[in-house]
Amino acid sequence: MTQGILIFAFNSDGVDYVKLAILSAKRAKQFLNRPVSLVTDSKQYLIDNFSNDVDIFDKIIDSVDTTTQTKRFYNGTNNFTKHVWKNSNRVDCYTSTPYDETLVIDSDFIINSSFLSYVWDQPNEFLIYTKHNDLAGWRNTSEFDFVSEQSIPFYWATVFFFKKSTHNENFFSLIKHIKENWIYFVKLYQLNSTKFRNDIAFSIAIHMMNGFTHGEFATPIANALTYTLDRDFLIKQKNQSMTFLVQAKNSTDAYTLVKTNNLDVHVMNKTSLLNIMGEHDV
């Protein structure tokens, strides 16, 4: 029985996801003690620019993402740039993973604890986050409760665990079907954007696997997913501690200092995350 971690990294002209994946992989290996594989379209870039870090990855799996959709990437409340957002190959997890049991994490999910180690020693075949915790504490987070108003529950594709099984093979085949017929599902579930999102596709697929009702296909990960939005800044990371400037309540130019310890955090401001990555991290 093989167990490992899978990270996806598809570079855009504005975000070095490969560099983020190196940090994320190092943290994952340190705290979870499992091999990490990388799915990327930038293998040669990794070799050319981070030759000392190639060995952090158990395997490097070539993949191509032909996505042309764009997204605003914020760096605080008042600054953003617009880049191509390659984020659709997560649907290939089942066929891409070299492991029998796989924990998939985003490249901007920074592990500071051994909490997720529990996934290897539990009986459920599919685990995913549904509870969430915005470090700001005051923002309206309803978009992370349901995929649209009066619709189905929202699940985070940021972190999830699956075992190779017939049920999960069918699940990922269903996600591919949703991706291929995305506009139909946008209308069916009354989504407010036509951009393909893994979170939404996973949520729809879970709803369908549950027979279009509440069911037990997906087991919630035991704690809440802690995150900061790209309106916030990560200003320091050392050992298991992270320090943020989090958007102050109802403000576009004021921030609150927040510090975390031994807490895994999904850092959506990728610019600030890249900025704090010193040479000792990559």
Beta strands per DSSP E along the chain: 3-9, 36-40, 59-62, 70-74, 80-84, 101-105, 109-110, 126-129, 132-134, 156-163, 219-220, 225-228, 233-238, 241-247, 255-261, 265-267
> To the nearest whole percent, how much of the chain has pLDDT over 70?
98
The pLDDT of 122-139, averaged and rounded, is: 97
The beta-carbon contacts of 241-246 under 8 Å, at least 24 apart in sequence, are: 241/112, 242/110, 242/112, 242/267, 244/135, 246/135, 246/136
Write down how long the chain is. Answer: 282
Q: Which CATH number is associated with domain 3-227?
A: 3.90.550
> To the nearest whole percent, how much of the chain has pLDDT over 90?
79
Alpha-carbon distance of 23 to 202, in angstroms, equals: 26
Q: Give residue 254's pLDDT.
A: 94
Q: Give residue 110's pLDDT.
A: 97
The yes-or-no verdict on residue 176 having pLDDT over 50 is yes
128/195: higher pLDDT: 128
Burial class (CB in 10 A: 0-12, 13-18, 19+), 14: middle
| Cα separations in angstroms, 184 against 187, 191, 204, 213 | 5, 10, 12, 20
C-alpha triplet 38, 95, 10: angle, nearest 5°: 35
83: which residues sit within 8 A by CB, 6+ positions away? Answer: 12, 13, 14, 15, 70, 71, 73
The yes-or-no verdict on residue 177 having pLDDT over 60 is yes
Where is average pLDDT lowest: 115-119, 161-165, 250-254?
Answer: 250-254
The pLDDT of 150-178, averaged and rounded, is: 96
Alpha-carbon distance of 234 to 246, in angstroms, equals: 8
Within a 13 Å sphere around the CA of 38, how many CA atoms are in the beta-carbon half?
30
Residue 134 per-residue DSSP state: E
Q: Give residue 151's pLDDT.
A: 86
Structure tokens at 114: 């051994």
The yes-or-no verdict on residue 35 having pLDDT over 70 is yes
Q: Give residue 28's pLDDT.
A: 97
Average pLDDT, the chain: 93
Q: Per-residue confidence at 68, pLDDT binned at 50, 70, 90?
A: confident
Q: Per-residue confidence at 282, pLDDT binned at 50, 70, 90?
A: very low
Residue 11 per-residue DSSP state: -
The pLDDT of 242-262, averaged and rounded, is: 95
Q: Give residue 280's pLDDT.
A: 40
Residue 149 per-residue DSSP state: T
